[in-house]
Amino acid sequence: MTDDVSRLLEQLGQPDLEYRVFADKVETPGYWPIFRLIHAHPALARLPGAQRRSYPAERAAPSGEGWSGADRRVGGPGKLFRRYGEAQAPAAPEPEAPSDDIRGLLRRLSE
Amino acid sequence: MIVLFHSPKGGVGTSAVAANLALVLAERGVFVTAVDLTGQGALALCLGDSSGVIDRSRQAEGDAAMIVAGVRVMAPGADRTAAEIVAAIQSHEDEDGDGVVIVDIGSGDRHALDLLLPLAALRLCVLTPDPAALAALPLVYRDVQATRDDRTFFLLNRVDDRLRLGRDIATMLRGLLGDRLLGTIRRDEAVGEALAMLETLASFAPASAALADFRAIAGRLVPERADAAQPERGIA
Ligand SMILES: Nc1ncnc2c1ncn2[C@@H]1O[C@H](COP(=O)(O)OP(=O)(O)OP(=O)(O)O)[C@@H](O)[C@H]1O
Ligand SMILES: [Mg+2]
């Protein structure tokens, strides 16, 4: 606890108050194995207008530490989901070109 | 315009979001009809109406709509045929050219969704930043409705950046959905508290964070009208 916070809590007469520093907004978001499942899903390739940007933490994929459960058992992050994708998923259709943006759509609706 | 609220995942707040958007649209002077197809009567409750809970016989039935907090509420009975439901919804739309018809469809009710999608201007899919809702996301695009896909947009509800996993999922969804994400609504205790008080969010907690988010989304759906009149309040 920083000095200014403990001083403030004392002033408020709340020395027992639970206190935690919340993460900075600009911190790199964590990457969870389920994200790979979602990103790889062929149905989502049909999402028109979505940017399907590559996710920063995905590009900087962790090297294996911190991965748990099924992912580690199959030898690394994402292996399980990749295997699932190959075995069961039909070929992903080409992502459609973004048809329109939300403003365009709403403009059309209000006309 | 007809706006469908449907999520592949139950419990994400679809009814709460539908009702609160109905309220803030009415607040802007839009003529709003809210249609509850879930059979739960949750929509009227979220509008701050107690009569459906306390006395089910007073619940809005069929076309005999009641007005709650400036929103016309309809709950077609379970005995209605699909054609009757469609006709009732369309009749509400036709009467008021620039009105908005909000339809709350239960998460399991693919039938109603398929029936109404061809009539709808928008389908808003509510998600929450948790793994179960994330895993349900591909279901939205399970059966590609090529002609309707350009009307599906998402709302992220119960966003709470204090929780690590939720924050990560929200960030991932913002990247994945891009322009398809119409807005986010913060997790806010006042949403449930207003329900418990049988009040609208605006009357119970005017400073509510979720209320500000609902208003921002309403502004994106329907631009401010110069002649916006305050709708009548109270139960007709
Ligand atoms: N932004 C929010 N902040 C806090 N609580 C919320 C928020 N949105 C919804 N809730 C609460 O979440 C719970 C579920 O909401 P709701 O009944 O609207 O979900 P639903 O998706 O319609 O569920 P069902 O699938 O049963 O129809 C309710 O207790 C509601 O008050
Ligand atoms: Mg509901």
Residue B236 has pLDDT above 50, yes or no: no
Residue B86 has pLDDT above 50, yes or no: yes
pTM: 0.76
Distance from C-alpha of B217 to C-alpha of B125, rounded to nearest angstrom:
13
A110 and B223 within 8 Å at the Cβ level: the answer is yes
Which domain range does residue A17 map to? 3-85
Task: Work out the average pLDDT over B110-135.
Answer: 92
Dihedral of the CA atoms A104, A106, A109, B2 (nearest 10)?
A: 140
Of B118 and A101, the one with more pLDDT: B118
The pLDDT value given to residue B143 = 56
Of B69 and B171, the one with more pLDDT: B171
Task: Work out the average pLDDT over B45-49.
Answer: 81
Tokens standing for residue A105 = 């759509």
Amino acid found at B154: F
For testing contact with chain A, the best of B119, B143, B176, B184 (most A CBs within 10 A): B176
Task: Work out the average pLDDT over B33-60.
Answer: 71
- Total domains present in chain A: 1
Quick one: DSSP state of residue B61?
B
* Interface predicted TM-score (ipTM) of this complex, two decimals: 0.75
Quick one: DSSP state of residue B62?
T
Q: What is the 3-state secondary structure (H, E, C) of A68-88?
A: CHHHHHCCCCCHHHHHHHHHH
Hey, CA dihedral for B140, B146, B155, B83, is it positive or negative?
A: negative
Of B125 and B70, the one with more pLDDT: B125
Closest-CA distance, A46 to chain B, in angstroms, reads 7
Distance from C-alpha of B162 to C-alpha of B170, rounded to nearest angstrom:
12
Percent of chain B with pLDDT over 90: 49
Q: What is the pLDDT of residues B169-182, one digit of tens each?
A: 999 999 989 889 99
Secondary structure element (H or E) that encloses residue B145, with its range: none
Phi first, then psi: what are they for B18, rounded to 5°? -60, -45
What's domain B2-220's superfamily in CATH? P-loop containing nucleotide triphosphate hydrolases (3.40.50.300)
A61, part of any domain: yes
Other C-beta atoms within 10 Å of A21: how many? 8
Q: What is the pLDDT of residues B209-223, one digit of tens each?
A: 999 999 999 999 987
**Tally of residues, chain A:** 111
The pLDDT value given to residue A22 = 62
B225 touches A: beta carbon within 8 Å: no
pLDDT bin (cut points 50, 70, 90) of residue B83 is confident
Of A30, A52, A105, the CB nearest to B176: A52
A7, part of any domain: yes
Q: pLDDT per position in chain A (111 positions), as tens?
A: 678 888 888 888 877 777 666 655 566 778 899 998 888 887 777 666 555 544 444 444 444 444 444 444 433 333 333 433 333 334 444 444 444 556 676 777 666
| Average pLDDT of the residues of chain B | 83
* Pocket-testing residue among B6, B9, B12, B130, ligand 1, by greatest number of atoms within 8 A of Cβ: B12
Of A23, A44, A55, the CB nearest to B175: A55
Q: Which atom of ligand 1 is nearest to the CA of B126?
A: 21
Quick one: DSSP state of residue B227?
T
